[in-house]
Amino acid sequence: MTQATHEHILIIDFGSQVTQLIARRVREAGVYCEVHPYNRAQAVLDAGFDPKAIILSGGPASVCDAGSPRAPQAVFELGVPILAICYGQQTLATQLGGVVESGHAAEFGRADVEILAPSALFDGVWEIGGRYPVWMSHGDRVTQLPDGFSVKATSENAPFAVATDEARRFYTVMFHPEVVHTPDGSKLIHNFVRKIAGLRGDWTMAAFREEAIERIRAQVGTSKVICGLSGGVDSSVAAVLIHEAIGDQLTCVYVDHGLMRAGESDQVVSLFRDHYNIPLIHADESARFLGALAGVSDPETKRKTIGKLFIDVFEEKARMVGGAGFLAQGTLYPDVIESVSFDGGPSVTIKSHHNVGGRPERM
């Protein structure tokens, strides 16, 4: 089964630092999903991405500000279920005729929601009259619901903590069900994707592995690939996966920058050369890195310096290999989130990790 044949969900990203956790919860429910920034979502739909449901993420902006992000109006007319989280709830309410206001009590942290009425969203999870812990993070709040919506749960500072239009299958929450601080959040997302949207749950990590190998082979063809290898989990998984796809067309480059723990470099080289039998270049560049960092005290400058040097070394080794058409790397997703918004989205940079935000401008 190819990626295209999986039932799938579109997650529209408004810049939340935890949008990828939404994707993780959806995938844990066995459902394939893709995250796209709000300003590219319409193009994704126009290109033929046919979601069985849509999730609107949180975000740092205020819907009360001029020019703040909005979902494509078309998503409300597709006839598919929508789950709107935090900022997603606010923009949905605004776009469908409700009212959102600033100046009310902001919340960041734990809150308790009280269940007032039944909803398919928390069927089998929460009971009417019960109080349940959730995680809030918002400055604005909905003060008037759009037509067709009713309140299902409230909290002390969120009178519309859960508001739904059950007929249209639109479900909005002021809290963040994707984070572990909302203990039942994953169950709510599971309800949405499996019960409300009715998706089969036919996506697995085994399927991902097979499809990733197929895509790598198709993309690379007969070219060679240079993989930046650190010995950590992320780059190691990427290297092994690529090697399964294209064999010795892959050459790993391990850059020894002089900042590793004692003996680690020998372990990395031995593992990949002797155990995995992957072609490996061990580039001892410790003097180069330590020299460039000498006297540098600003952490952001250090990270960008390291990022530039890594790319310089990879390009040099690519010329040695000859015919390398691709540079591969494996990156822990929190590094991407902290460094730069996902695929051009609106999230705010926290710090530049060397292999993401620390890369040269041309990349």
What's the pLDDT score for residue 321?
A: 86
Residue 154 in contact with residue 192, Cβ under 8 Å? no
Sheet (strand 324-328) strand order: 280-284, 250-256, 224-229, 324-328
Q: What is the pLDDT of residues 235-281, one digit of tens each?
A: 999 999 999 999 999 999 999 988 888 889 999 999 999 999 999 99
Is 353 within a domain?
no
pLDDT at residue 342 greater than cutoff 50: no
Q: Do 129 and 275 share a domain, yes or no? A: no
Known catalytic membership, residue 211: no
Annotated active-site residue in 33, 86, 227, 252: 86
pTM to 2 decimal places: 0.77
Residues whose CB falls within 8 Å of the CB of residue 9, separated by 6 or more in sequence, listed in order: 26, 31, 32, 33, 34, 51, 52, 53, 54, 55, 193, 197, 199
CATH code for the domain in which residue 107 is found? 3.40.50.880
Q: Do 7 and 140 share a domain, yes or no? A: yes
Q: Do 177 and 290 share a domain, yes or no? A: no
Total count of domains within the chain: 2
Q: Do 326 and 247 share a domain, yes or no? A: yes
Token pair 């469908």: residue: 96
Known catalytic membership, residue 86: yes
Give the whole-number percent of the chain exceeding pLDDT 90. Answer: 65
Domain boundaries, position 39: 3-196
CA pair distance 326, 227, nearest whole angstrom: 8
Q: What is the pLDDT of residues 42-90, one digit of tens each?
A: 999 999 999 999 999 999 899 999 999 999 999 999 999 999 999 999 9
Least confident stretch, 83-87, 131-135, 347-351: 347-351
Q: What is the pLDDT of residues 283-306, one digit of tens each?
A: 999 999 999 999 999 988 888 888
pLDDT at residue 102 greater than cutoff 80: yes
Q: Do 155 and 219 share a domain, yes or no? A: no
Annotated active-site residue in 8, 176, 190, 243: 176
Q: Where among 196, 221, 246 does a domain terminate?
A: 196
CA distances from 60 to 15, 17, 358 (A): 6, 9, 23
Q: Do 132 and 228 share a domain, yes or no? A: no
**For residue 178, what are the β-bridge partners?**
none
Annotated active-site residue in 107, 178, 285, 338: 178
pLDDT at residue 354 greater than cutoff 60: no
CA pair distance 363, 350, nearest whole angstrom: 19
What's the pLDDT score for residue 356?
A: 52
Exposure letters 225-255 (e unless 16+ CB within 10 A, then b): bbbbbbbeeebbebbbbbbebbeebbbbbbb
